[in-house]
Amino acid sequence: MKNSKFWFSFFIGPILFAFIIVVIVPMFMGIYYSFTNWNGIGNTADWIGFKNYIEVFRDHDFLSAFIFTAKFAIVSVITINLMGFGLALLVTRGLKISNLLRSVFFMPNLIGGLILGFVWQFIFTKAFDGLGRMLDLNFLEGWLSDPVTGFWGLVILMSWQMAGYMMVIYIASLENIPESLMEAAEIDGANAWERLIHITIPLVAPAFTVGLFLTLSNSFKLYDQNLSLTGGGPYNSTQMLAMNIYNTAFKFNAFGLAQAKAVIFLITVAAISLTQIYYSKKREVEM
Amino acid sequence: MFKSKRLIAFVMTVLMTSMLFAGCASKEQKEVSEEKDKVEVNVFQFKVEIAKELEEAVLAYEKEHPNVKINVQTVGGGDDYGAALKAKFQSGSEPDIFNVGGPQDVQDWMNKLEDLSDQPWVDLALPGILSGVTVDEKVFALPFNIEGYGFVYNKGIFEAAGIDPLKIVDYKSLEEAVKTLDAKIKNGELKEKYPLLEAVFEYPAKETWVTGLHTSNAILGQEFNSSIEAFHADKVAFKYGDALKKLIDLQANYSSNKDEKQKLNAVDYTRQAEEGLAIERVAMIQQGNWVYGKIKGVDENVAKNLDILPMPVKGGKEDCIPVGVPMHWVVNKDSKDEVKAAAKDFLNWLYTSDEGKDYIVNKFYFIPPLKGFENFEPKDALGKAVKRYAEAGKTTPWVFMGYPTGWGMEVLGNDIQKYLAGEYTWEEVISDAKAKWEKMR
């Protein structure tokens, strides 16, 4: 007991130190800069109060990026989790090739977002185009050249990449469901669908909490896939929040304004994620 | 039940350790290179087209100067060099030699720029060419080269269609030639000789530097006399706004996407140059002499047969092309003294020694910005064309380096995309671009 304080600080100390240096300090520096007119290069940064925050709400591009990001987050959270859960169900049915399938489905997640973006850019602009011409399907042509196909391109890319990751989380949870419960239900005459709805889904609710949280926050913070797939184009219509902030800082040299946006971004993402966790937690069932 | 948890644990451990190793590896590398007794000069440059050739020049220089080690890093083309440069400075690894565009950049980076007024090449500069980078009579930057752009066209196709390029001297004659060519492509007359040919133009609206900077400069280069003048202008009037619309419409309406112009917003530089002009899929593109290397990489015979047509501004000067300095070399003031000395010496070697000049003209395909290159004539077809325009005085200046930061690409370039997609009318493009210019000044 005497030593527990020492061991506590021994294990926590280094991590806490790193956390303060790389997260807490930059965060407060960022908040400070959001009240200045720093341009990102010079050594002068004058205090200008809340001007940046007022400017943010007048920035149409920021607002449209916000709406686009929100839409994207809603759609991709649904598709990613549905696909992830579906794949998890598929590979836990005891098929012979389950293990192989697991690795295959997980694989896209091991490739970097930038590379994936470029690979899919090629698929959308070249392969889709060629296919569309060959089969005379007009909707396959000219992908990523307008806001709608840009949006769905991003959704497809992200679902493809993230579904495997979510699958792993759902597998873990699915395999925790006692076989006896399933058997009992089967004997009582419940069919597969009823078992899924009334036993499986309530019991994997904790995994849904995690899955929803991860996909929601990741979709909001998305940058690299956005950059490499569409680059925000055409005319910034597929620009997401992170990219809008980056462009404000590095293309328009308005670091203070970008920081103000980033602070608002941080608050929004935190608020949405925490609300989601609160409600998902409430739905979880104890076994 | 345990299996999957272990799987997760395993995956996590692998990920974490690989991150750790990644961190260590880059650190070690740095230490090793610092240990050597050499002066190390880090170059961060923007011209993708010369990336490989510059490495060769560096090797040649290092052979003569064994105590100097030069590292070249290139970011450019479709990427935004300015953003990458700022990120580089933010991260603390400041390059010793980097690039600035013009007056706006010089002002932004002023407290990082070494005064280069005492360098030997200053006296050799062509008249007026240093005006954009001179502040209080101090010269801060060495021009890369002179470049010009216009409508780069395939002489063979024009000849086959029976069009005399020498007669194209204004907008009217250009439009006529385009229409003639378009008709001949449509009725299949050129099919036998050029099987891939499908349109007159290819216009990469995705590349906002082509639309927002270059196309717009054709008309703004006549509204402002120099980049300095544009830089000090509080307002932009779009005096030749209609001529700009004509230039954009002409390229869009006679492109392979003429029926669905919003698709132009997905056309990029590669599609325009390598997959367009170089394979004779299109006859003409709005580009500059820098595409020569790219085209040559695909088909040398096509490259040799290129020339440049004027970019006529209706109502203004018509028989001319915009010619200017795309980028400048600068030296970081905060580098160590011996590094700065080596950096300056390298730039000087590149532009004034015979070996360096050979690289400039014959490997980089640059049109030199300095005097003293009399024995080094440009060898490529497009360099010759630009030189021809320059010598005949048929030029307008490049002023887009004097645009407010981000205005050309992020504002006007995007507005033009909206125009092509039918989101904006032309009037909306002009009024939005005007309003944003005033706001950003």
Read off the pLDDT of residues B285-334 as tens digits, 9 standing for 90 and up: 999 988 988 899 899 999 999 999 999 998 888 899 998 888 899 999 99
SS3 content of chain A, % helix, strand, coil (to 5): 75, 0, 25
Task: Report how many Cβ contacts below 8 Å link chain A to chain B.
Answer: 88
Q: Which CATH class is domain B39-146+325-372?
A: alpha beta
**Residue B396: Cβ within 10 Å count:** 25
Evaluate if residue A285 carries a pLDDT over 70.
no
If you average pLDDT over residues B341-361, what whole number do you get? Answer: 91
**pLDDT computed for residue B32 by the predictor:** 44
Residue B316 buriedness (CB in 10 A; 0-12 / 13-18 / 19+): middle
Contacts of B324 (CB under 8 A, 6+ apart): B146, B147, B148, B227, B397, B398, B399
Evaluate if residue B29 carries a pLDDT over 50.
no
Residues of A with CB under 8 A from a CB of B: 39-43, 125, 141-146, 168-169, 171-172, 175-176, 231, 233-236, 246-247, 250-253
Flag if B417 and A168 touch (Cβ within 8 Å). Answer: no
**Candidate from B11, B80, B423 with C-beta closest to A251:** B80
**pLDDT computed for residue B10 by the predictor:** 55
- Mutation choice for A interface testing from B2, B258, B414, B418 by most A CBs within 10 A: B414
Residue of B nearest to A165 (CA): B8
Q: Whole-angstrom Cα distance, residue B130 to residue B138? A: 10
**Candidate from A125, A234, A247 with C-beta closest to B410:** A247
C-beta of residue B205 within 8 angstroms of C-beta of residue B227: no
B97-100: strand order across its sheet: B68-74, B39-45, B97-100, B328-331, B142-143
Chain A touched by B263 (CB under 8 Å): yes
Q: Whole-angstrom Cα distance, residue A53 to residue A59? A: 10
Overall fold of domain A59-286: MetI-like fold (1.10.3720)
Contacts of B182 (CB under 8 A, 6+ apart): B199, B200, B254
Chain A touched by B23 (CB under 8 Å): no
Instruction: For residue A125, list chain B residues with Cβ-Cβ distance below 8 A.
Output: 266
**pLDDT computed for residue B9 by the predictor:** 57
CATH topology identical between B39-146+325-372 and B148-324+397-440: yes
Our measurement of the distance from residue B294's CA atom to the centroid of its chain's CA atoms, rounded to an integer in Å, reads 13
Task: Name the band, by pLDDT with cuts 50, 70 and 90, for residue A20.
Answer: very high
Give B148-324+397-440's CATH code, choosing from 3.40.50.300, 3.40.190.10, 3.40.140.10, 2.60.40.1930.
3.40.190.10
Q: Please write the tens of the pLDDT for every residue from B127-177.
A: 778 878 888 888 999 998 888 999 999 999 999 999 999 999 999 999 999
| Percent of chain B residues past pLDDT 90, beyond the cut | 46
Domain spans, chain B? 39-146+325-372, 148-324+397-440
Chain A touched by B108 (CB under 8 Å): yes
- Mutation choice for A interface testing from B1, B2, B4 by most A CBs within 10 A: B4
CA distance, residue B427 to nearest chain A CA (Å): 17
Q: Whole-angstrom Cα distance, residue B241 to residue B290? A: 27
Identify the helix (H) or strand (E) that includes residue B14: helix B2-35
C-beta of residue A49 within 8 angstroms of C-beta of residue A271: no
Task: Name the band, by pLDDT with cuts 50, 70 and 90, for residue B11.
Answer: low
Residue of A nearest to B418 (CA): A235
Q: Whole-angstrom Cα distance, residue B370 to residue B373? A: 7
Nearest residue to A144 (alpha-carbon basis) of A240, A218, A228:
A228
Residue B381 to residues B13, B138, B150, B365, B377, Cα–Cα distance (Å): 58, 36, 14, 10, 11
Please state, rounded to an integer, the average pLDDT across all residues of chain B.
Answer: 86
Flag if B83 and A42 touch (Cβ within 8 Å). Answer: no
* Cα B439-A243-A64 angle, rounded to 5 deg: 65
Q: Please write the tens of the pLDDT for every residue from A224-259.
A: 999 999 888 788 889 999 999 998 888 888 889 999
Contacts of B413 (CB under 8 A, 6+ apart): B208, B209, B211, B212, B213
Q: Whole-angstrom Cα distance, residue A109 to residue A161? A: 5
